[in-house]
Structure 1
Amino acid sequence: MLIKSDKSCKYGDQALIEVWQQNPTDKLWIDFNCHDRDEERLYLTKLGCHALAISDVHRDRHPPKIEEFDNFIFMLYRGIYETGTDLVFDHLQIGLFVGENILITSHARESISINKLFSEEGQKYLFKSSLTLGLRIFHYSCGIYLQQLFDFEEKLEALEDKFQEGGDDKMMQEIILYQSRLTKLKRTFNYHRNIGDELKVLVSDDDSSIVHISDQHTVTDVHERIERLLSLSQMHYDICSDLINGYLSVASHQLNATMRVLTVITAIFIPLGFLAGLYGMNFDYIPELKVAYGYFYLLGFMALIVVALIVFFKKKRWL
């Protein structure tokens, strides 16, 4: 995408690079989409990109980062190839080389944000500056994350209401799964926050030829969106933790109540079992065996023990 000084726009292939090199005041966006890496490396090297930055963008997996070089600001972040439901994202590593009048994007698969902005919507941002367009690509990806978190918030509220009616193991497995996904998102957003913090520093740097004070609003907007993503993911994570802890507490309380009842029953039957075992022994001489009403006396005594223990447990509030 080549934007001329008269705001006219051209789309094309690598031939536009030569056109831009003849008039570097024009604005150029080069998007390497699923491109051959050797050929891409050759182009990036000719355009003045640093070899280490090129190696980072060609890695299959690299933590998001931002670095400033002589001619470019290099940003690497986790974009989105495809979204699912319930915080499921098919992540995509996107590299941005931001020059004074040039933006280069590199990604191994289709990107939702780049496909969205490689159109008339992206032309107005590129005309302002290459950094504005690069930040808007980043901003759009953050917006997709944000919408998914908003949708998840409604589901989480429904889970909370359902939990009040009575949780079960299946619900806990679902919540633990969400907590795991939120942990991964928090890790990504923490990396992105570092990018936002570094951009704010670059805006205040008078020596930077790429980032200007006019970009402060865009940088602040991106930084605030990243902070919101981080705070929302942390809040949802805390809610999931509270639900899990609440379920475990309720389950523990129910288990304690059950064990208390079983313990009381055991305590009642121990003396009864002792008396039954005592008079069940096979000795020839047991004096009580000759008592005419000994059987009834023993049953009455056993009943008295049961009543006395029940009264005792009631007073102790164990029942």
Structure 2
Amino acid sequence: MIKCMLLQSDNTCRYGNEELIELWKVQPETTLWVDLESHNKADELLILQQFGCHALAITDLHRERHPPKIELFDDYIFMLYRGIYECQGDLQFKHLQIGMFVGTNILITSHEQKSISIDKLFTGEGEKYLTKSPITLALRVFHNSCGVYLEELFEFEEKLELLEDQFQLGGDDKMMQEITLYRSRLIKLKRIFNYHSNIGAELKLLVADETDIINQAEMHTVTDVHERIERLLSLSQMHYDICSDLINGYLSVASHQLNATMRVLTVITAIFIPLGFLAGLYGMNFEYIPELKVVNGYYYLLTVMALIALSLIILFKKKRWL
């Protein structure tokens, strides 16, 4: 599906399909946003070649799971980033790869499924950014995607605080399984935000180079996008560290409880070993054992065993093993 937004010379916008592309070609003073959604790759290739997009950029766009990147060509800035198709809550996102070709009077976006940020801006809200420049609109699409991530991280922060409070009252294996799952999802988000952070840094360098496509006038927007990405990265890192601390704390408590249990079992074993030795010694089936003839030998043996047990208990108490 091809959607087009054409900003005319009188700053009014028209919405349509391929027919606006032909109109843009004959009216160089207009600005065009072409959105390619769920398009056949062969057809998309022809369309992008028609606009003069570089073959290497198109190849990167059509590769599956290509890392986010930004690259400057003669007539375009090519951006590839991880957008959002659906937000499922609990740090679960259905991601999609979004490619953007940004020229002086054109923006081309390409994605296989619906994008939350593009659908939001393909309205009057996007018109005001297209009026400024295509790069401003492209950055706002990127900024809007970051905003969806940010909202989810804020919601997760509240849930994480509840988990911390519950952990103080007493954690269990089910809670640790949940926290481990969150930590795994945060690792994936950190990887995405790291790539996006590199894009933000590259955009600042492009602003400093003062090209026709992006210049100092866009510095505020670029800085805003970069700061939002850095905030996402720091929040995801902070939440990851908290989850790791909770897991490590639970493992430490479990290990301490296990050690205490093993210590008690060891003490009990240490007490009964000498008693078992004496019981085994006089339980042997030899015909001649001198002590068997002692009238009160049974009571003497019980007394000795009791003294040994009592002595060991006192010893372990002094060493604070009990």
Superposition TM-score, scaled by structure 2 size:
0.97
From 260, 264, 273, the counterpart of 2:263: 260
Residue in 2 aligned with 1:71?
75
Q: Aligned residue pairs: how many?
A: 318
Partner amino acid for 1:242? D
Residue 297 of structure 1, CA deviation: 1.0
From 267, 270, 275, the counterpart of 1:272: 275
Cα deviation per residue 1:166-193 (whole Å; 9 max; x = unaligned)?
A: 1111111111111111110000000000
Partner amino acid for 2:216? I
Paired with 2:16 and 2:321, the residues of 1 have a C-alpha distance of 82
Residue 25 of structure 1, CA deviation: 2.1
Residue 14 of structure 1, CA deviation: 1.1
Q: Does 1:121 align with 2:125?
A: yes
**Structure 1 residues 118-157: aligned runs within 5 Å:** 118-157=122-161
Could you tell me which runs of 5 or more consecutive residues in structure 1 were left unpaired when the two chains were aligned. Answer: none
From 294, 305, 315, the counterpart of 1:302: 305
Could you tell me which runs of 5 or more consecutive residues in structure 2 were left unpaired when the two chains were aligned. Answer: none
Q: Does 1:287 align with 2:290?
A: yes
From 195, 198, 208, the counterpart of 1:204: 208
Paired with 1:243 and 1:25, the residues of 2 have a C-alpha distance of 59
Q: What secondary structure sits across from 2:101 in the alignment?
A: strand
Residue in 1 aligned with 2:116?
112
**Structure 1 residues 1-319: aligned runs within 5 Å:** 1-206=5-210, 208-319=211-322
Paired with 1:282 and 1:202, the residues of 2 have a C-alpha distance of 95
Paired with 2:186 and 2:283, the residues of 1 have a C-alpha distance of 65
Superposition TM-score, scaled by structure 1 size:
0.98
Paired with 2:264 and 2:85, the residues of 1 have a C-alpha distance of 56
Q: What secondary structure sits across from 1:78 in the alignment?
A: strand
Q: What secondary structure sits across from 1:5 in the alignment?
A: coil
Comparing 211-220 with 23-32, greater Cα deviation is found at 23-32
Comparing 195-204 with 5-14, greater Cα deviation is found at 5-14
Partner amino acid for 1:256? N
Cα deviation per residue 1:126-169 (whole Å; 9 max; x = unaligned)?
A: 00000000000000000000000001111111111111111111
Partner amino acid for 1:44? L
Paired with 2:285 and 2:18, the residues of 1 have a C-alpha distance of 106
Partner amino acid for 1:224? E
Of all paired residues, the percent bearing the same amino acid is: 72
Partner amino acid for 2:308? I
Paired with 1:24 and 1:228, the residues of 2 have a C-alpha distance of 39
Q: What secondary structure sits across from 1:204 in the alignment?
A: helix
Paired with 2:80 and 2:296, the residues of 1 have a C-alpha distance of 94
Q: What secondary structure sits across from 1:11 in the alignment?
A: strand
Alignment RMSD (CA, Å): 0.8
Paired with 2:160 and 2:140, the residues of 1 have a C-alpha distance of 30
Residue 304 of structure 1, CA deviation: 0.7
Cα deviation per residue 1:183-214 (whole Å; 9 max; x = unaligned)?
A: 100000000001000000011113x1100111
Paired with 1:75 and 1:107, the residues of 2 have a C-alpha distance of 12
Partner amino acid for 2:229? I
Residue 67 of structure 1, CA deviation: 0.3
